[in-house]
Amino acid sequence: MRVRELAERLGLTFEGDGENEIEGAAELERAGGRELSFVAARKFWKLAEASAAGCLIVTMEFPSTGRSLIRAVEPRGAFAASLRILYKKASFKPGIHASTVIEEGVTLGIDVYVGPHTLLAAGARIGDRVQIHAGCAVGRNVAIGADSLLHPRVTIYEGVVIGERVILHSGAVIGADGFGFVPVDGAWQKFPQVGGVKIGDDVEIGANSCVDRAALGLTWIGDGVKLDNMVHIAHNCQIGDHVVIAAQTGLSGGVVVGNQAIIGGQVGIGDKARIESGAVLGSGCGILTSKIVRAGQPVWGTPARPLREYLEQLALVARLPQMKEELRQIQTIVQDLSERLGLPQQARGESDRSDE
């Protein structure tokens, strides 16, 4: 595709040679003459000047150099759109593989693709243009909205409702029982998990992630939510619209997450905690049970605390070796003064013990 054509598809302006052919994309350091790259910040300008990329998507402030450029207010977003244009996904001819098991009462929309060795259980409702790839299991009375995509070996339990344009990656499990047990006569007895799961539109759930059904009511995931690989959403969690959660994060039961919150990797969130809209949870932090993280607040550490406080404490910890040495010097001075002033041995002993 020529630079001119790509710019037109993106709705952006270009400069330089619009006839340059672009066949793919790569990082600035590795891009060749037929590849596209992008420059999102001023600190990468020197690297961009040395790049052999055939075309760069740059900010409006990037200096003109005579090379092929496409200017965008948000180069990263424009680059992502370019990748969707340059790398078209493999198309699948609609149809149902002969090895598919389809039980009674299943309804299929138009242009549905179902791959080999899949199960569509009784009462499942599959929307238009849905793709269900090899080895998936779709439980009874599950509803899957139009244009959704299930990669191989996705499991959806009974009664789950999935919106439109949802992407579920391999190994995702939606609607398994929540971790609910009650102690009875010294043993743990299962608390029946009779609720459901509802997932909004434009959601993407990563490989080997789990969204558990509610004990009662619904585990609910809003529109535009993006879950990374190996994320666990426990029973009765409520996740607002356009939340992003990075890998190896776990939410305990009843957690509420507000719209557009950002949760880093390896975060642990205790029961019934509330993460308000726009909050940012740094990687590896721990949110205590019933804790409230206020709207727009960035927090870090375990237990999680405001980022400024966390950084101040981190700086203090880094100074501990220096502070210890300073304390030893002060103790030496105090001991020397005590000896000169002829203070009793007991007073000097107390000073000595303070170093222990």
Q: Which domain holds residue 269?
A: 95-308
Mean pLDDT of 36-45: 93
242 is catalytic: no
Cα 197 from Cα 238, distance rounded (Å): 10
Same-domain status, 35 and 105: no
What pLDDT score does 336 carry? Answer: 82
Question: Looking at the structure, do residues 78 and 114 belong to the same domain, yes or no?
Answer: no
Choosing from 133, 151, 169, 235, the catalytic residue is 235
**Residues 77, 160: one domain?**
no
Look at residue 203 and tell me whether its pLDDT is greater than 80. yes
Q: Are residues 263 and 146 in the same domain?
A: yes
Judged against a pLDDT cut of 70, whether residue 231 lies above it is answered with yes
Residue 89 has a pLDDT of 78
Percent of the chain with pLDDT over 90: 81
Q: What is the mean pLDDT of residues 71-85?
A: 95
Question: What are the pLDDT digits (tens) for 171-188?
Answer: 999 999 999 999 999 999
- The residue type found at 119 is L
Whats the size of the chain, residue-wise? 356
Number of domains in the chain: 3
Q: What is the pLDDT of residue 352?
A: 52
Q: Find the largest Cα–Cα distance for the chain.
A: 99
Identify whether residues 334 and 295 lie together within a single domain: no
Residue 256 within any structural domain of the chain = yes
For position 122, what pLDDT does the model report?
A: 98
Residue 72 has pLDDT above 90, yes or no: yes
Q: What is the pLDDT of residue 346?
A: 52
Beta-ladder partners of 144: 126, 162
Question: Is residue 348 scored above 50 in pLDDT?
Answer: no
Secondary structure of residue 268 in the 3-state scheme: strand
Q: Strand locations in 68-154, DSSP E?
A: 69-71, 95-96, 101-102, 107-108, 113-114, 119-120, 125-126, 131-132, 137-138, 143-144, 149-150
Percentage of residues of the chain with pLDDT beyond 70: 96
pLDDT in tens, 111-141: 999 999 999 999 999 999 999 999 999 999 9
For residue 319, how many C-alpha atoms fall within 13 Å in the half-sphere facing its CB? 9
Same domain, 114 and 58: no
- Positive or negative: CA dihedral 341, 342, 344, 349: positive
Do 101 and 187 sit in the same domain of this protein? yes
Strand runs labelled E in 302-342: 305-306
Residue 222 has pLDDT above 70, yes or no: yes
Give the per-residue pLDDT at 351.
47
Residue 168 falls within a domain, yes or no?
yes
- Are residues 63 and 137 located together in one domain of the fold? no
| Residue 270 lies inside a defined structural domain of this protein | yes
Whether residue 296 sits in one domain with residue 176:
yes
Q: Residue 308 has what pLDDT? A: 80
* Residues 81 and 102 reside in one and the same domain: no
Residues 77 and 205 placed together within one structural domain of the fold: no
Residue 355 pLDDT > 70 = no
CB burial of 282-293 (b: ≥16 within 10 Å; e: otherwise) equals bebbbbeeebeb
Is residue 304 included in any domain, yes or no?
Answer: yes
CATH of the domain at 65: 3.40.1390.10
Do 347 and 282 sit in the same domain of this protein? no
Domain termination residue (choose one: 59, 86, 113): 86
Residue 164 lies in a domain: yes
What is the CATH number for 219?
Answer: 2.160.10.10
Work out the average pLDDT over 317-331: 86
pLDDT tens digits along 272-321: 999 999 999 999 999 999 999 999 999 998 898 887 887 788 788 888 88
Average pLDDT over residues 11-30: 93
Q: How confident is the model at residue 8 (pLDDT cuts 50, 70, 90)?
A: very high
Domain-terminating residue out of 86, 114, 137: 86
In a domain, 314, yes or no: no
The burial of 346, by beta-carbon neighbours within 10 Å (0-12 exposed, 13-18 middle, 19 or more buried), is given as: exposed
Instruction: Indicate whether 313 belongs to any domain.
Output: no
Q: Could you tell me if residue 167 is inside a domain?
A: yes
